[in-house]
Amino acid sequence: MAKKTAKKKRSGPVEKAVGTGREKPKPRTIPTAKPSKAAAKSKPAKKPAKKGAVRKTAAARPKKAPRARTPAVKTKKSGTRPKKKAVAVKAGRKRAAARPKATAAKAGKAARAKPKKAVTKKAAPKRKKTVARPKKPPAKPKKTAAKPKKTVTKPKKAPAARPGKVAAARPARAKPAKKKKPEKAPAARKPKPEKGAPARPSEKKPAVRAAPAVEEKARPSFDVLKYLEDLDRLGMKPGLTRVRKLLKALGSPEKKLAVIHVVGSNGKSSTARMLSEILTAHGVKAGTYLSPHLVGFTERYLVGGREITDRAFEKLITEVSDTAAEVDSRSRSSGPLTQFEILTAAAFLYFQQQQVEVAVIEAGLGGRYDATNVTESRIQVITNVILEHTDILGETLAEIAREKAAVIPEKGRVVLGALSDEALDEIMKICRRKHARTLTFGDNFSLIRGSGEKFDVWTEKGQYSDLSLTLFGQYQRTNCAVAIQAAELFLARPLGEKKLRRTLPKIKIPARLEVISEKPMVILDGAHNPASIEELLNSLAGIVRARRTICVVSILKDKDAAKMLERLLDFCDILFITENSNPRCASAQELSKLPVVKESHVQTFVARENQSALESAFKLASIRDVILVTGSLYLLSDIKKRIA
């Protein structure tokens, strides 16, 4: 019986070979019963018409009777085998070569193992190999037979994308699938949208880049700082004709502002800053125009105590410069506009644009022909009068006072600081002639020294006690009293004492007894005439005491250099004479040849470069010494720019 069964088993494959006309050993392994069980579980009835139907029928054989298998195999093999060879040659797959590897014993082991889990787990890596390397087909026919189902039923879904690779690897479907990848990639596969994702913002990039390109074109085509520096070479030209034409072309912004005009020889900037801070503390939106600046032009324009931004300043000067060019072309007889005239016109325009409630304007030089004297101010403040700019303003105090009092309009309201008798008499004559009301320091308001750093101020409408400043110098208290009286006059009511106590200590004024180093102590002060030098040294007496003092000084040509140096030589132990960047600066060599310097026993050095002069002073100074830098605001400007 065993022999008969063996013969029967052999007879099956022999008949198949005879039916096809081929007796190869490879097709004999196909009709085994064990591999057919795995194939039978995977629903072969869905794909009978496809090229892979041979595997499905072979897998379905174990379920049917052996007699039914042979004819079905014969008929299918006879009609399909020649096509299989052609497909295998094109795709690089030779299934006939792969089948002999899977022996009957191995097929039986695979059938006994877990059918579903084994097929699904091992399917993924082999499908990838068939896509990447078509020449290496899967080792087992079971996996390839179970997976084409997913490609037919769910080709577009994400979970079915992997089995789809097996079908795409075949020659009939591989080529069209590759051509349609760019179109169907975002819908069928996840990696394609990832590659396409960066492509979408690339289309928007030109639109995003276009916006800043437009902004760059809108910026001024010229360098604002260079433009202003070139104007500075023209120097000062007294007169109001040019600036009035410019303001008229800008729409007369000065006539739309409430102006407090601050003039005087010393203390203008300090008084203007204090006045603006006091008004701001009382709820008034105040603009402040100062001159000169130390580091940048933006220091000249303040609103609410804050400087104008660089961008706003460039836009402002660009607008004014365009109008100035038109004015210069129409009125060549009066000459081109100067730097100070353009900056002043820009200040009035800026304060109008900011809609300030009051504009505190500091005069530049004198008063009568100063570019700031183009409007009827509500309040006029004259801090003090000393001999300065005698070649322009006059040689006596009365003449200089007359020039400064020219800013007082008819029925003006004037606040006068600490003035000499000669200057005060001249100003009072002018005020009586113009029917102006005057409030004089020492008569209508006064300063009372308190204990320590505290002081009191008596005004026309109130008394303010226990006030304090963080600023050094007794003269700053006088400036504070003038500012308090001017603010009270503008508001027409007493000020808040608590607001003053809270605001005044916060006020900081650069280059006014400004300490920038402690060891050694380095003090910067913009004293630029004999009177201010005297005030400076009186204030330093309590700070320096017995310490050695090294002074670095630079003076302009139109100043009384002899008196300034004489006072400094009496106070200092070592003196460095240097120069600054302003074209009106006096030569260091010429200053060193003055009799007051030659006759002095103080050790004196000459250095044209102020940087080298300051470095030499540092080398000579110990940590207990004091270095004083003074004589000109332009000297301090050079040093502060270098520090910045």
Residues of the chain with pLDDT under 50: 1-60, 62-65, 68-111, 113-126, 128-132, 134, 141-188, 190-220
pLDDT at 222: 64
pLDDT at 51: 45
Radius of gyration of the chain (CA): 49
| Structural contact between residues 504 and 480, judged by C-beta atoms closer than 8 angstroms | yes
DSSP 3-state helix, strand, coil percentages of the chain (rounded to 5)? 55, 10, 30
pLDDT at 542: 79
Region(s) of the chain under CATH 3.90.190.20: 514-643
| Structural contact between residues 318 and 220, judged by C-beta atoms closer than 8 angstroms | yes
pLDDT at 405: 96
| Structural contact between residues 352 and 323, judged by C-beta atoms closer than 8 angstroms | no
Which pLDDT tens digit goes with each residue over 197-232? Answer: 444 444 444 444 443 343 333 444 568 999 998 888
Which pLDDT tens digit goes with each residue over 179-205? Answer: 444 444 444 454 444 444 444 444 444
Q: What is the CATH number of domain 224-506?
A: 3.40.1190.10
Which pLDDT tens digit goes with each residue over 150-185? Answer: 444 444 444 444 444 434 444 444 444 444 444 444
Pick from 545, 535, 554: which is nearest to 625 by CA? 545
Q: Which CATH architecture has domain 514-643?
A: Alpha-Beta Complex (3.90)
Distances (CA, A) of 379 to 97, 262, 416, 426, 621: 110, 9, 11, 19, 47
pLDDT at 544: 82
